């Protein structure tokens, strides 16, 4: 077992395999899937993640073991690397070997899932944030292993939704690539969303994928916006306030 964990993970690593607990789903008992992604289940890197307590809380999606680059493959275009803050402080070079790996970088959506298990995480958080910014990864920070599992499940279900939206566009007879008009409309929507404080183009793009239209985003609750991968509560609050300020101004 070789996952990048902290105190909770150390306990799991010293536990014998016969006592390690996993979800009672039949999928966790299936043999590893080389390459992953074939059955539509969440694919977990067995070599790195066997024994990770996060897996005990992955209950709402099926998972299978697989020979993959990242720690979790949430779909053909979505890879997740898991890292605890304590482990990063002890092994600062580890994150570079992971997010610069060829196998980890073949995904369009690349998330570093950081488990904050330190009392003073500011320096580690700043460092990981800068690393992810430079390497074009998205940093998502969680504070419990249960929350980490929830995000992994969310990434998986969101990936399914994105694929469904794209497939529907093709089934309706349209070209899979955007028309010039649709592209211009999307660029306009992204420009509008990024006018909100702290919302980046990447955030805007993911929000449009998550909700489908600008109208859906503008009517969404702050909680619903924060559930979009990579956004979080602070950006959600800023965007929700911005959108409702615009609406209020138009009503006057």
* The pLDDT of residue 16 is above 60: no
C-alpha angle 240-210-226 in degrees, rounded to nearest 5? 40
Instruction: Look at the pTM and tell me if it is higher than 0.75.
Output: no
Local confidence band at 39 (pLDDT 50, 70, 90 cut-offs)? low
- What gap in Å lies between CA 112 and CA 128, rounded to an integer? 9
pLDDT of residue 34: 37
> Which has more confidence, 4 or 173?
4
| Domains by residue range for the chain, with CATH | 7-155 (3.40.50.10130), 178-251 (1.10.150.20)
Average pLDDT, the chain: 78
pLDDT digits (tens, 9 = 90+) for 184-200: 888 888 888 988 888 98
Could you give the percent of the chain with pLDDT greater than 90? Answer: 43
Structure tokens belonging to residue 113: 């899932």
């Amino acid at each position: 077992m070789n996952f990048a964990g902290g105190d909770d993970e150390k306990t799991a690593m010293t536990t014998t395999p016969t006592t390690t607990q996993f979800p009672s789903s039949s999928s966790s008992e299936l043999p590893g899937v080389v390459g992953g992604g074939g059955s539509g289940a969440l694919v977990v890197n067995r070599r790195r993640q066997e024994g990770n307590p996060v897996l005990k809380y992955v209950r709402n999606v099926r998972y299978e073991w697989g020979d993959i680059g990242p720690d979790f493959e949430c779909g053909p275009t979505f890879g997740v690397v898991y890292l605890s803050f304590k482990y990063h402080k002890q092994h600062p070079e580890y994150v570079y070997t992971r997010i610069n790996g060829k196998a980890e970088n073949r995904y369009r959506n690349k998330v570093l899932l950081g488990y904050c298990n330190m009392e003073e995480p500011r320096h580690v958080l700043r460092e990981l944030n800068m690393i992810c910014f430079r390497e074009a990864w998205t940093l998502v920070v969680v504070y419990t292993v249960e929350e980490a599992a929830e995000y992994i499940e969310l990434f998986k279900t969101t990936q399914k939704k994105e694929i469904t939206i794209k497939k529907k566009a093709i089934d309706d007879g349209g070209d899979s690539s955007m028309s010039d008009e649709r592209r211009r409309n999307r660029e306009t929507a992204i420009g509008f969303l990024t006018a909100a404080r702290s919302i980046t183009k990447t955030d805007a793009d993911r929000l449009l994928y998550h909700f489908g239209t600008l109208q859906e985003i503008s009517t969404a609750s702050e909680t619903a916006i924060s559930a979009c991968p990579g956004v979080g509560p602070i950006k959600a609050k800023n965007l929700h306030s911005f959108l409702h300020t615009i609406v209020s101004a138009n009503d006057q």
